[in-house]
Structure 1
Amino acid sequence: MPDEEMTPPRTGQTRRRGAALEEAILLAAADELAECGYPGLTMDRVAKRAGTNKNAIYRRWPDRLALGIAAYRKLARTIQPPDTGDLRDDVLELLRRANRHWSSPLGAVLRDLLTAAGSAQQLVAQLPEQSTDAMTAMWLTILGRAVARGEASPESLHPRVATVAIVLLRNEFVTRGAPTAPDEVLIEIVDEVYLPLVRRRAG
């Protein structure tokens, strides 16, 4: 039975199916996340906002967390790696961007989703900023440029090494529960951990 045949369309309303219905649900869920955060996200509210029924939602997303992650992807923007010509400046810029985002209302949604997902890495990986492949590629890009400039050791081009700085910053939010990280913490991560690590990797 098509998704919306159980809910007769209102007068003048076109019955939506397939991709059109999925997009309507995702947009409704994204609006709910932006307005109410993840704690306020419910299948009932999303269904009402999308003008559909909960069965149509559950056919696509098995629970509230899966829907929340899919909706967050609608809100998140793709970040391009900086290219200042200096490794320290590039790393600080990336950390400052992440810090501003995670300190924002949308960042609060992200933190709630991460907490709810826990150790379910298959769900965490669906979040744009947390995708292992995407995050690693960005950090390897800026580190690779630094290696080419002679600022870092070629041996540092390892995924775990490249992403150390962002993992340490994420711990400030996820593990310590900090609402934001002071800039001196970002500078400490860069100067005391990241740069010494990538420069001395060969030794």
Structure 2
Amino acid sequence: MTEPAKAARRRGPALEQAILRAAADELLESGYPGMTMDNVAKRAGTNKNAIYRRWPHRPALGVAAYKLLTTTALDLPDTGDLRTDALELLRRANSHLASPLGEILRSLLSQLSQEPELLTELRDQSGTDGARPWLTILDRAITRGQAPAAARHPRTATVPIDLLRNEFVTRGVPTVPDEILTEIIDTIYLPLLRGYRP
């Protein structure tokens, strides 16, 4: 009787994807606090050294796995009105943060004080990706003459989403009421944009 053939050893991108998928599954089952490198290695069928060669610490792997779970094409609102587009985009972000995937992000954010590397990883992974939807709707508004070109800056464009995240982190709410979303757009974001001068 011949022995069964051993599974081919995974290397490179195949192993990396297996680890990421395992980490994503751990996030879905246990959240970030329950995601351990041991559990990810066991689920991926590899060892911790293989993980650490690719991700130097748990925050790096946790954020990369979260990004894997949330990488989808975003259909941006384009109504011809900056206020309507910004409010709709903020409502979608609120729905996401209130969803199971949003719970994972909130669990990542809740660990910032224990694992300072998380903040760096969240910033690095987001990069310009997090600002892109907001810059897109702002660019459209600038083209239509609804906002000054001087207002085009990633920090300015993302004020609504930053304030929304702050609501989740500081208030610990499961979702942010719509009146607060409207307040963010009407009393902070739009006046901020109008305050820029060419």
TM (norm. structure 2) is 0.86
For residue 175 of structure 1, what is the amino acid of its counterpart?
A: T
1:147 pairs with 2:175? no
Match of 2:26 in 1: 32
Q: 1:70 to 1:160 in 2, by over 3 A?
A: closer
Match of 1:172 among 150, 167, 184: 167
Three-state SS of the structure 2 residue aligned to 1:83 is coil
CA deviations over 1:86-128 (Å, ceiling 9, x no partner)? 111110111011101111111111122233345544311244x
Gaps of 5+ in 2: none
1:95 pairs with 2:58? no
Gaps of 5+ in 1: 1-9
Distance 1:189 1:148 in 2: 23
For residue 192 of structure 1, what is the amino acid of its counterpart?
A: T
The answer as to whether partners of 1:96 and 1:186 remain within 8 angstroms in 2 is yes
Distance 1:18 1:43 in 2: 19
The answer as to whether partners of 1:69 and 1:126 remain within 8 angstroms in 2 is no
CA deviations over 1:12-61 (Å, ceiling 9, x no partner)? 42221222211111111111111111111111211111111222222222
Matching of residues 1-203 of structure 1 within 5 Å:
11-78=5-72, 79-117=74-112, 120=117, 121-127=119-125, 131-202=126-197
Matched residue count: 191
Three-state SS of the structure 2 residue aligned to 1:69 is helix
Distance 1:113 1:74 in 2: 14
Distance 1:161 1:82 in 2: 19
Three-state SS of the structure 2 residue aligned to 1:133 is coil
For residue 21 of structure 2, what is the amino acid of its counterpart?
A: L
The percent of aligned pairs where both chains have the same amino acid is 61
Distance 1:39 1:199 in 2: 42
Distance 2:161 2:195 in 1: 19
Q: 1:17 to 1:132 in 2, by over 3 A?
A: closer
Shift of 1:80: 4.2
CA deviations over 1:134-170 (Å, ceiling 9, x no partner)? 2333222211211222222333223332222111111
For residue 39 of structure 2, what is the amino acid of its counterpart?
A: R
The answer as to whether partners of 1:117 and 1:124 remain within 8 angstroms in 2 is no
Distance 1:38 1:95 in 2: 25
For residue 153 of structure 2, what is the amino acid of its counterpart?
A: H
